[in-house]
Structure 1
Amino acid sequence: MNRRQVLAAAFAVGMMAAASPAIADKSNPDTLRVALLPDENASTLIQNAQPLKEYLQVALGKDIEIVVTTDYSSMIEAMRFGRIEVAYFGPFSYVLAKTKAAEIEPFAVGVEKGKPNYQSILLANAEGPVKELKDVEGRPFAFGDQASTSSHLAPRAHLARNGLIGETHYKVVHLGKHDAVARAVAAGQVPAGALSEQIYRTLVEGGKIDPSKVRQLALSDPIPNYPMTMQGYLAPELKDAIKKAILELNDPEILKLFRVEGFAPATDKDYDVLRDMAKVLDLNIAKM
């Protein structure tokens, strides 16, 4: 072996040695970043997630950082580029994330009232012009984030199945968060809108929305509940530990954060129903 070959071999060995710790850290990091869906105020979510943080630190023996991104798209990008390891996605935002980062793995789904699914609620202002679904035509209709399942995809598909196509039969308005939709409808700022029924009930129970100010127009078809996901490149033993910690979670205070009574196993196939909804709306998921 000549001098040039020796130097090349030494350089290659050095590069491998330098890269190994980074690879190890990525698959089994000292700190796990756990992202929660930004469907409400970030500071409130982080504060309410402290019991979850403490539980996971004990269960996994790692530091836990709770992350709340600015919106659904930034959460998808954070997962795509490895800036978070575990994420509690909305069903449709998970489907979108999966198209951009195929290695993402859903492993648990929230169960509420014995079911791993929920619905969107379509609301109208109680004193406004929308008395039933057909009255949406020719008027604004408020959705949350574009990547939201229960505040965009499912109710928009429900409207489409009832002959109401966005931007053809009504004006599409995006307000970002579920609570913003409920407040805007209750205040009469928009005549109608849609959000997660679970979040709506929580807002009513918390005194943040006066139910007398709105009327229920419809409920969407059942939607598979929010999936808990993780990066596929994590070490197998770490993935098993994360899955076990979530599936065995039974602390009512922590479960309240997710608006569920427990978690059940989940797979990617469970979310094919959302891909079908996207087809109804002629949405190209890969380009969203």
Structure 2
Amino acid sequence: MKRILAAGLVLAGLTAPLAAQEVKELNFGFISTESSANLAKSFEPLLKDMEKAIGVPVKPFFVGDYAGVIEGMRFKKVDVAWFGNKSAMEAVDRSNGEVFVKTAKPDGSSGYYSLIVTNVDRNDINGLKDILDCSKGYNFGNGDPNSTSGFLVPSYYVFAMNNVDPQKCFKRVVTSNHEGNLLAVANKQVDFATNNTENMSRLQQTRPAEAAKIKEVWRSPMIAGDPIVWRKDLPADLKAKIYTFFMTYGRNGTPEEIERARAVLAKTSDGWGPFLASSDAQLIPIRQLELFKAKMKAQNNDKLSADEKTAEVKKIDAQLADLDSQLKKLPAM
């Protein structure tokens, strides 16, 4: 733990500006996986403990979609944020963000799964073959375009790999957050929808009656735990305090303090354990998915000539090879 903290503190110093204005308030952004009221209730104890630890007021920042948090960080209205991997990638690329820790479960594991779910009464929908039957005129609940589990992962593994365009296949495609999609499935407002294991667990805790009406029909490969991202240009001393808080919370202190912090984490989101150190490297598999999608799109683009397709695919393959090389050099995350 001491080595991890030391490395993190050095990183914080290297990536922060040499001279920075004093931060009088820290805005913590939240992707809109569910209603703002539910998010506020879930995260308030953690933010209060963070505020006490770093000595700066910490205010929650809520907006109606993922893009709002990404743009909030870009325009310095958000200083630290809880993202999914896809939205974290956008924040890193567009908003001067940097991954520094990721969420984990109480048992220390980190990761979750994208799902497609339907109503438990739907005996006709039990797997991918049923989902991809375009003759049925299904109504599909998709996720936010910046969601990893609600959009990117199923877009690739379910639709791109099977050469299916949801907009052409289904009668109607509606977009909502994770909570909205689960409730739409429970209330039979859509035939099936994207989601993830974290939000299913969350619904089982908050609305067990609705959760009991939902069944899983597809599960993705594992996705890395949710990244926590800060703005690179935060003052070095503040970043050091933030990093120390996340990496010691639920680990350091008296037995009573550790027990209390772990109880707070267990009631945060779908139930977390102590955070794990991370970096932008955890986003490489997400970048690969985006490039795989782009490659398939280019290969199936009838508007491109054979030479144009070859050139585009060659360009994407080079990017994929570079990412693969980077991934092989990294220790297991």
Provide TM-score, normalisation by structure 1. Answer: 0.83
Deviation digits for residues 87-126 of structure 1 (CA, Å, limit 9, x no counterpart): 111111111122212x311100011243221111211223
Unaligned runs of 5+ in 2: 1-18, 251-260, 299-333
2:199 match: secondary structure: helix
**Match of residue 104, structure 2, among 104, 111, 125:** 111
Q: How does 1:240-251 map to 2 (within 5 A)?
A: 240-250=240-250, 251=261
What is the percent sequence identity of the aligned residues? 24
Pick closer, same or farther for the CA change 1:198–1:43 going to 2, 3 Å: same
Q: Give the match's secondary structure for 2:140.
A: strand
Dislocated runs of 4+, deviation >6 Å: none
C-alpha distance in 2, partners of 1:268/1:167?
A: 32
* Distance (Å, rounded) in 1 between the aligned partners of 2:220 and 2:172: 18
Deviation of the 1:208 alpha carbon: 4.4
Q: How much has 1:265 moved relative to structure 2? A: 0.7
Q: Go from structure 1 to structure 2 and tell me whether the alpha carbon gap of 1:153 and 1:171 turns closer, same or farther (over 3 Å shift).
A: farther
Match of 1:271 in 2: 283
The aligned residue for residue 206 of structure 2 is 206
Tell whether 2:264 aligns with 1:254: yes
Q: Note the C-alpha offset of 1:209.
A: 4.6
Aligned mates of 1:172, 1:91 — CA distance in 2: 27
Alignment partners' CA distance in 2, 1:130 and 1:253: 38
1:232-278: CA deviations, max 9, x gaps? 11111211110110111111243232432121111111111111222
**1:176 aligned partner:** 176
Matching residue within 106, 124, 132 for 2:127? 132
SS in 2 for 1:97: helix
Larger radius of gyration: 1
Residue 91 (structure 1) aligned with residue 91 (structure 2)? no
- Give 1:195-234 correspondences, 5 Å limit: 195-234=195-234
Corresponding position of 1:9: none
Cα shift at 1:184:
1.0
Partner of 1:148: 147
Contact kept, 8 Å, 1:56 with 1:64, in 2: the verdict is: yes
Aligned residues of 1:159 and 1:165 also touching (Cα < 8 A):
no
- Where does the alignment leave 5 or more consecutive residues of structure 1 unmatched? 1-22
Q: Does 1:30 align with 2:40?
A: no
Contact 2:30 2:83 in 1 (8 A): yes
In structure 2, the residue matched to 1:159 is 158
* Match in the other structure for 1:13: none
How far the C-alpha of 1:199 sits from its partner, in A, is 0.8
Whole-Å separation in 2 of the counterparts to 1:108 and 1:171: 41
Contact 1:108 1:229 in 2 (8 A): yes
Alignment partners' CA distance in 2, 1:219 and 1:281: 19
Instruction: State how many pairs are aligned.
Output: 259
Cα-to-partner distance string for 1:114-173 (whole Å, 9 max, x where unaligned): 322111121122333423211123223212211111111112222133454432434572
Change (3 A) 1:88 1:110: same
Contact 2:20-2:234 within 8 A present in 1 as well: no
Contact conserved, 2:33 with 2:177, CA < 8 A, in 1? yes
Alpha-carbon distance, 1:80 to partner:
0.6
